[in-house]
């Protein structure tokens, strides 16, 4: 596996999302990230987000209909930022990229030294758990979670399609394959964040590797 960088990527203020906002939208997204990170979903409000920007509350409402609209657009940009760091900047082929992601989520560390904690900020993971729990009873939150999950699956579909095109994978159904991998990723992400014992995930990682081997193009 080719390393992403010579040293592991650490989550710092410099490489956090929207760290150097150049537009009002980016400033709002930066503030949203900080509120979610520090206070979780329960602490999110238009007023709290506005308080951490140089903008007025009315300016936020100019750009977004309500809190849910803001969160939905934020999450799409946020996920794209994460996936750019984890996928697009990585120099391996599609299978190597997917294997690296699985190592980070299921094993807690990739071969190049990047740790789960380096990539997934604990405060934001806690927020994801809160939102999923609320989606069980709240239709607006269910819609929000559905949209953000589709963003992640779409990126996986694109990665698998690239793998088929360059001969890394056999001619599989990209959407079906992405759905299976999404369950591996999402399950690992959530369970690693709320359990003390995660050693058992090594067996899940083996199962994921066997799945990738089945779709790999063999000469």
pLDDT tens digits for the chain (219 residues)?
333 333 334 444 336 788 889 999 999 999 998 898 888 778 889 999 999 999 999 999 999 999 888 988 888 888 778 777 766 566 678 888 899 889 999 999 988 888 888 777 666 677 778 888 888 998 888 888 888 888 889 989 999 999 999 999 999 999 999 999 999 999 998 888 888 898 999 999 999 999 999 999 887
Strand runs (DSSP E) across 6-123, as ranges?
A: none
Return the pLDDT at 115: 84
The two three-digit tokens of residue 21, written as one number: 């906002």
Domain range 75-215, its CATH number among 1.10.357.10, 3.20.20.100, 3.40.50.300, 3.40.50.720:
1.10.357.10
Contact indicator for 67, 44 with CB cutoff of 8 Å: yes
Spans of all domains in the chain = 75-215
Find where tokens 């936020």 sit: 60
At residue 78, the pLDDT reads 82
Beta strands in the chain (DSSP E): none
pLDDT score at 29: 94
> Tell me, what's the pLDDT at 87?
65
Dihedral sign from CA coordinates of 140, 144, 147, 153? negative
pLDDT of residue 12: 40
pTM (2 decimals)?
0.78
pLDDT at 114: 83
Query: Can you spell out the DSSP letters for 138-196?
Result: -HHHHHHHHHHHHHHHHHHHHHHHHHHHTTSB-S--HHHHHHHHHHHHHHHHHHHHH-S
Residue 115 dihedral angles phi and psi, to the nearest 5°: -95, 155
Other CB atoms within 10 A of residue 186 CB = 16
* CB neighbours of residue 159 within 10 Å: 24
Tokens 């793998």 map to which residue?
163
Q: CA Rg, the chain, in Å? A: 18
């Amino acid at each position: 596996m080719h390393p992403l960088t010579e040293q592991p990527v650490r989550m710092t203020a410099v490489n956090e999302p929207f760290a150097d906002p150049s537009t009002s939208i980016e400033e709002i997204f930066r503030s949203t990230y900080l509120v979610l990170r520090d206070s979780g979903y329960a602490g999110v409000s238009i007023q709290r987000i506005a308080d951490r920007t140089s903008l007025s509350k009315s300016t936020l409402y100019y750009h977004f209909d309500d809190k849910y609209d803001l969160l939905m657009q934020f999450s799409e940009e946020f996920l794209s930022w994460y996936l750019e760091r984890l996928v697009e900047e990585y120099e391996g082929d599609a299978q190597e990229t997917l294997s690296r992601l699985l190592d980070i989520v299921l094993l807690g560390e990739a071969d190049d030294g990047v740790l789960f904690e380096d990539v997934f900020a604990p405060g934001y993971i806690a927020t994801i758990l809160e939102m999923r729990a609320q989606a069980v009873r709240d239709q607006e939150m269910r819609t929000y979670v559905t949209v953000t999950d589709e963003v992640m699956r779409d990126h996986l579909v694109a990665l698998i399609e690239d793998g088929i095109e360059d001969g890394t994978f056999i001619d599989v159904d990209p959407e079906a394959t992405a759905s299976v991998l999404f369950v591996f990723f999402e399950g690992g992400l959530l369970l690693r964040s709320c359990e003390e014992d995660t050693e058992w995930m090594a067996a899940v990682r083996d199962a994921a590797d066997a799945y990738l081997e089945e779709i790999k193009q063999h000469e």
